[in-house]
Amino acid sequence: MAYRWHREGDYAVLDRKDNGECIYLTASGCGIHGRAPDICRRMDCRVLVLLTPAHVRERRVAENPHMARVYEAGLALVDTLPDQ
């Protein structure tokens, strides 16, 4: 499947709607679930927020303000990670 995407700095990202949501997000969730890009299938915002230093998160949010929601979701859910 060919995905609609663009570059933001050094990153390839899926295109977004005017409100910042992924263009493949529907009212019932991911519209390409099961055939989404590998990065989407592996994405866990809880792990992302734990592994990304604060200064890097701040830079990414400055480059792409919509990333703030991803990091906020990860912070809100980080305590749901299973104990390692």
Give yes or no for residue 3 having a pLDDT over 70: yes
Tokens found for residue 79: 């305590």
Mean pLDDT is lowest, of 32-41, 52-61, 72-81, for 32-41
Two structure tokens written together for 54: 């604060």
Which pTM does this prediction carry? 0.62
Q: Could you read off the pLDDT of 22-50 as tens digits, one per residue?
A: 898 887 778 888 888 887 888 888 888 99
User: What does the pLDDT read at residue 52?
Assistant: 92
